[in-house]
A and B are shown apart, each in its own frame.
Chain A
Amino acid sequence: MADRKPLYLMTPALVWLSLFMVIPCLLILALAFFRRGIYGGIEYDFTFENIALVFDPLYAGIFIKSAIIAGQAALIASVVGYAAAYAIAAMPKSRQPLLLFLAILPFWSNYLVRTYAWIVLLNREGLIVSVARALGYNQELPSLLYTETAVIVGLVYNYLPFVILACYAPLARMNAEITEASRDLGAGGWTTFRRITLPMTVPGIATGFVFVFVLSIGNFVTPALLGGGQFQMIGNLVYAQFLTANDWPFGAALSMALIAIMMGLLTLQTFATERASGGRVRDADG
């Protein structure tokens, strides 16, 4: 029909995104197919070398390692965040906004400052070690800082609010009569959670998981500060190519691979969410 949608309202966003997102991405993509100059810089002859190098076991290994770390962070954040969201959604309606506000409060402070705070906590003479000492633990503690665990802890901490928000939305939307119906039909509390609440809120968990994964796999600040250069994640590798190795074409190829992974996951998640929410067929008769 002729009901005109105000599409023109999208124009500013479209212009902004094309200017500052699509065009730079295309430039980086183009860069990936050129050769690196001997003293840095770019030589404009076409090559697939950079792309092929991404699949070199050395670099592919870093991709896999990053994916494993991001996956662990996303998994832990999803479990912890879902539990928190569940608890908030179970509170009286009047208190929920305050609790949500508290959950996302860390977001309002600087990312770097928060990550440095973790260094203070995990340090050899940091708070955790001091507390352990005070409690009478005198043996040498395993190093907390500059480990893979520290990186995962930092990533989970940083992205937890995303998961809480993503899981809270479907939990809060659930009609209380649905879980009551499950109880009424003979299910206990755990069965009701497993068969009703959890499946109905999977889209929220998936959104949270993918968010944390995508943000973690490309992150370079947390691995640099809490990993202490013990190992590299893709983010650090890309950073190094552009800023220290001066190999922009290879850095471009790496970032393209990273973006491809992220886009793939986000697309998958969007489709999965759409399917889980019933597919919107609406051909009811009668």
Chain B
Amino acid sequence: MTSALLSIRNVEKHFNKYHAVDGISLDIRENEFFALLGPSGSGKTTLLRMLAGFETPTVGTILLDGKDVSRIPPNHRPINLMFQSYALFPHMTVAQNIAYGLEMEKLPRAEIKSRVEEMMEMVQLPHLAGRKPDQLSGGQRQRVALARSLAKRPRVLLLDEPLGALDKKLRGEMQLELKRIQHQFGITFIVVTHDQEEALVMADRIAILRDGKLLQHGTPLEIYEYPQTRFAADFIGVMNFFPARLVDGALRAADGSAFRATVPDTIGAGEEVLAAVRPERLHLGAGETENRLTGTVRAMAYHGLDLQVHLDTPLSPQPVMLRLTADAAEGHALSIGDTITAGWSARDTRVFAG
């Protein structure tokens, strides 16, 4: 608790009767790359705007270095925000955009000049200093926006859907680039995103938000492997769900067969539950795994790296997805309509309240 740089304490934001943020508490550490992940309407952007100072919490406090900053206006917070639209000043050149925040601090001219140069070096755009924003590509604009908000060396940099406007390939490069820059500057990054893959790749820790509430937070591995709710399991990556019921301490599937899994204590006897497994944890053939299913191949999608197989099975109303590595796929020449058996182990099985 004491090592938290930014402490969000029981924060709520009401817009009339609507609670956009509904009681969130989170501690964010120094030098952390933190992701606020959630679908639209989850309150992640409102939370970010409260951290930046554009909204004031209706309830609760936000502490920075132990000091309450909830009511400090944005221009007096050592926190900067990179806007989703980048919000570059169209009438200023790239260099003027980057210098703007430094001029507000009334830094000596020479220092502003050297810092602007340093920033443009960092985002690899020194040759574009004299350009106006509408003479830049989307990727270049994104870099300028990043340089502009980092130039002030904030304690915390907030990034609102930073890669949303970029194409897929550029997005992949920028994910790594952002991580490199964050590491180089040693500044805490808080990124808002609805893209779970982006959060998994970039963040040290992820918080999942839904309907203004915090569902779960943890490392990408914890979030991906041990989702605590059905929503989190479904939102992050792909998950196969099998309706089941807890009978005599064992999970019984719809067709009466048993699933082996560790059942959380919160689930009582007779309760309807969902057993779940990630597609990549399913293996072809029964093998030595505790759980298995039999189904017919309904569709196949080749993704280069893997082959995604959709199976119709009586165990689940939805088709079950398997991801076979290229090697595994070559070993079994599958075609649509084939009946196959797949297995998975008990320790890869998660159980959620139905």
Where the two chains meet, the residues of A that have a C-beta atom closer than 8 Å to any C-beta of B are 175, 177-178, 180-188, 191, 195-196, 199-200, 276, 278-286
Please name all residues of chain B whose beta carbon is closer than 8 Å to the beta carbon of A196 when the two chains form the complex.
89
Task: Tell me the B118-160 residues at the A interface (CB within 8 Å).
Answer: 132, 134-137, 139-140, 148-149, 152
Which residue in A181, A182, A184, A283 is a CB contact (below 8 Å) of B135? A283
CA distance A191 to B90 in the complex (A): 17
Nearest A residue to B106 via CB reads: A186
Which residue in A178, A185, A285 is a CB contact (below 8 Å) of B152? A185
Please name all residues of chain A whose beta carbon is closer than 8 Å to the beta carbon of B52 when the two chains form the complex.
184
**Closest-CB distance, A187 to chain B (whole angstroms):** 5
In the complex, the answer to whether B137 meets A285 with C-beta atoms within 8 Å is yes
B221 at the interface (CB under 8 A from A): no
B105 at the interface (CB under 8 A from A): yes
**Closest-CB distance, B324 to chain A (whole angstroms):** 37
Please name all residues of chain A whose beta carbon is closer than 8 Å to the beta carbon of B139 when the two chains form the complex.
286
CA distance A185 to B106 in the complex (A): 12
In the complex, the answer to whether A186 meets B101 with C-beta atoms within 8 Å is yes
> What does the 1/0 interface line of B172-212 toward A look like (CB < 8 Å)?
00000000000000000000000000000000000000000
Most buried by B among A175, A180, A283: A180
**Closest-CB distance, B175 to chain A (whole angstroms):** 18
User: What are 21 pairs between A and B in contact, CB < 8 Å?
Assistant: A175-B85, A175-B87, A177-B83, A180-B83, A180-B87, A182-B89, A183-B53, A183-B54, A183-B75, A184-B52, A184-B80, A184-B81, A185-B80, A185-B104, A185-B149, A186-B76, A186-B152, A187-B104, A278-B90, A281-B132, A286-B139
CA distance A216 to B132 in the complex (A): 37
Most buried by A among B52, B53, B87, B88: B87
Given A282-B135, A283-B135, A184 and B149 touching (CB < 8 A)?
yes
B168 at the interface (CB under 8 A from A): no
> What does the 1/0 interface line of B73-98 toward A look like (CB < 8 Å)?
11110001101110111110000000
Please name all residues of chain B whose beta carbon is closer than 8 Å to the beta carbon of A276 when the two chains form the complex.
91
Given A199-B91, A286-B140, A185 and B132 touching (CB < 8 A)?
no
Beyond A177-B84, A184-B149, 4 additional pairs, beta carbon < 8 A: A182-B89, A186-B76, A200-B90, A284-B140
Report the interface size class on chain B. 20 to 34
CA distance A11 to B88 in the complex (A): 42
Task: Tell me the B193-240 residues at the A interface (CB within 8 Å).
Answer: none
Please name all residues of chain B whose beta carbon is closer than 8 Å to the beta carbon of A178 when the two chains form the complex.
87-90
Please name all residues of chain B whose beta carbon is closer than 8 Å to the beta carbon of A187 when the two chains form the complex.
75, 100, 104
CA distance A77 to B312 in the complex (A): 73
Q: Which 3 A-B pairs have the closest CB atoms?
A: A186-B104, A185-B101, A181-B87
**Closest-CB distance, B203 to chain A (whole angstroms):** 22
Most buried by A among B80, B84, B135: B135
Most buried by A among B52, B53, B75, B105: B75
Which residue in B76, B91, B135 is a CB contact (below 8 Å) of A281? B135
CA distance A191 to B53 in the complex (A): 18
**Closest-CB distance, A196 to chain B (whole angstroms):** 6
In the complex, the answer to whether B91 meets A284 with C-beta atoms within 8 Å is no
CA distance A284 to B133 in the complex (A): 9
**Closest-CB distance, B85 to chain A (whole angstroms):** 5
